[in-house]
């Protein structure tokens, strides 16, 4: 046999990739008959885009429209574009997306970009481009953060991402290993992934139900480099797993997901906290973040890597220095147990307790759907152009719930549910 007749073996198992697509459509989105879908994806994720599109139409999708991003063309901008390019963003595209959501479309994003794509670029340009993009994206993002529509993020093992996660492996092997990690975390290795997701959602509901019953006024985190009190918003509500969007569809916004989360009080966060995993933010790695809060506001911040980008992010707007989310994840979560550092928030935030700077989720309030933005603000909900999760949990962190009368209740010990 001639060697040229051997076809290259695809390191991504097509059977489980198809299951991932089915889970994204049926569990992640719960796409409705006749509903349109707006999808964004890195161009490397084309095999998954095609399978999702197929499952979407089999589920009765009206129209599936996909927008692709390409790493080479992004880098070409940084290499050759005139300076004023970095204050531009495709507002017309995001306005169109917002119109699609207002018309009832669902939203799916495939993650998998190279987390370090822009690490060699001028941080000032990266920050300007990010800010312009955040401002332009706002009309569309609001429909997602307000949970007006069913939406989902899932991921594809892009080679440039796999190379970073498994730097010592040949590229095909790295992609294969990352694919395995994604499949395991997304529960598509189970014989019946849809049933496995139903059981997982029930477990997360139990956790959020327990926390909602306790009505803590604050959480107190202690660990190496961390002594942080996170006040919880008045009328906050814990969520986890599947939840119902304002359009009535019960979806799983993140695949995978292991977190239960709620809204902190924008004015009642005090103390200092250290990150426990590096954060990849729009192509830059920010590592060893250490910040100090006073009255809910970050008053000191440093990082051993990416500090310049971090400081620029904090200056995005007034709400960027305050918290919009606090989330609990046991250290023994399957993603954490895999021992893989993904450099991707969708995975790393589900391996560790985390907090998010910026915009809060209105659904994380009792009766959140009927609250006006002013009411949400009055109850302690933060607003910002950004929402950036970063990891503060480990097997060395303890968490207590603080009740209104000051009594402390153990919530987590050494990273596990107490």
Query: CB 32 → Zn ion: shortest distance, Å?
Result: 25
CB of 286 or CB of 327, closer to Zn ion: 327
Shortest Å, Cβ 262 to Zn ion: 10
CA separation, residue 73 to residues 47, 49, 91, 162, 284 (Å): 20, 20, 18, 20, 17
- Of the pair 113, 325, the CB lying nearest Zn ion is at 325
User: Which residue lies nearer to Zn ion by CB, 22 or 325?
Assistant: 325
Shorter beta-carbon distance to Zn ion: residue 349 or 400? 349
- Contact between 199 and 252 under an 8 Å Cβ cutoff? The reply is no
Kindly identify the residues of this chain, within the stretch 248-277, that bind Zn ion according to CB under 5 A. Answer: 259, 261
389 binds Zn ion (CB under 5 A): yes
* Token couple for 87: 């204050």
Rounded to an integer, what distance in angstroms lies between the CA atom of residue 175 and that of residue 82?
Answer: 35
Output the smallest distance, CB 387 to Zn ion, in A.
6
Q: Using the rule CB under 5 A, which residue among 325, 342, 352, 381 binds Zn ion?
A: 325
| Shortest distance in whole angstroms from residue 176 CB to Zn ion | 28
Can you tell me the distance from the alpha carbon of 309 to that of 124, in angstroms, rounded to the nearest whole number? 8
Q: What minimum distance in Å lies between the beta carbon of 259 and Zn ion?
A: 5
Q: In this complex, which beta carbon is closest to Zn ion, that of residue 56 or of residue 310?
A: 310
Tokens (6 digits) for 65:
């429209």
Nearer to Zn ion, 86 or 137 (CB): 137
Residue 356 binds to Zn ion (criterion: CB under 5 A): yes
The Cα 371–Cα 376 span in angstroms is 6
Applying CB under 5 A, does 326 fall inside the site for Zn ion? no
Q: How far is the CB of 324 from Zn ion (least distance, A)?
A: 8
Min. distance of Cβ 325 from Zn ion in angstroms? 5
Among 56, 327, 340, 371, binds Zn ion (CB under 5 A): 327
Stretch that binds Zn ion, among 3-11, 205-213, 224-232, 325-333 (CB under 5 A): 325-333
Residues that bind Zn ion (CB under 5 A): 259, 261, 325, 327, 349, 356, 389
């Amino acid at each position: 046999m001639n060697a040229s007749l051997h076809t290259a073996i695809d390191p991504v198992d097509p059977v489980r990739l198809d299951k991932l697509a089915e889970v994204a459509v049926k569990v992640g989105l719960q796409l409705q008959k006749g509903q349109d879908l707006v999808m964004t994806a890195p161009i490397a994720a084309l095999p998954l885009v095609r399978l999702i599109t197929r499952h979407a139409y089999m589920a009765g999708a009206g129209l599936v429209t996909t927008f692709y991003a390409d790493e080479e063309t992004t880098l070409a901008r940084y290499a050759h574009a005139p300076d004023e390019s970095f204050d531009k963003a495709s507002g017309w595209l995001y306005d169109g997306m917002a119109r699609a959501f207002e018309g009832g479309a669902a939203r799916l994003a495939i993650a998998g970009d190279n987390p370090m794509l822009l690490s060699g670029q001028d941080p000032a340009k990266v920050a300007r481009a990010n800010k312009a993009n955040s401002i332009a994206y706002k009309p569309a993002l609001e429909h997602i953060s307000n949970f007006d529509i069913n939406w989902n993020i899932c991921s594809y093992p892009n080679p440039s991402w796999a190379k970073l996660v498994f730097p010592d492996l040949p590229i095909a092997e790295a992609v294969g290993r990352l694919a395995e990690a994604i499949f395991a975390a997304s529960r598509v290795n189970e014989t019946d992934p849809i049933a496995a997701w139903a059981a997982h959602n029930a477990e997360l509901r139990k956790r959020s139900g327990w926390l909602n019953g306790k009505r803590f006024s604050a959480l107190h985190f202690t660990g190496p480099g961390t002594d942080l009190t996170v006040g919880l918003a008045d009328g906050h509500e814990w969520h986890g797993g599947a939840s119902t969007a304002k359009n009535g569809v019960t979806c799983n916004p993140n695949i995978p997901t292991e977190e239960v989360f709620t809204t902190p009080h924008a004015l009642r966060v005090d103390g200092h906290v250290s990150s426990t995993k590096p954060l990849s933010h729009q192509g830059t790695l920010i590592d060893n973040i250490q910040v100090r809060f006073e009255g809910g506001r970050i008053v000191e911040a440093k990082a051993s890597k990416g500090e310049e980008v971090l400081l620029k992010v904090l200056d995005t707007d007034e709400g960027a220095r305050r918290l919009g989310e606090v989330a609990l994840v046991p250290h023994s979560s399957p993603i954490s147990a895999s021992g893989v550092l993904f450099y991707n928030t969708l995975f790393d935030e589900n391996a560790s307790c985390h907090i998010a700077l910026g915009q809060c989720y209105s659904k994380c309030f009792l009766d959140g759907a009927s609250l006006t933005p002013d009411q949400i603000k009055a109850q302690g909900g933060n607003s910002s152009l950004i929402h950036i999760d970063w990891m503060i949990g480990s097997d060395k962190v303890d968490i207590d719930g603080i009740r209104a009368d000051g009594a402390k209740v153990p919530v987590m010990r050494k990273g596990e549910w107490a």
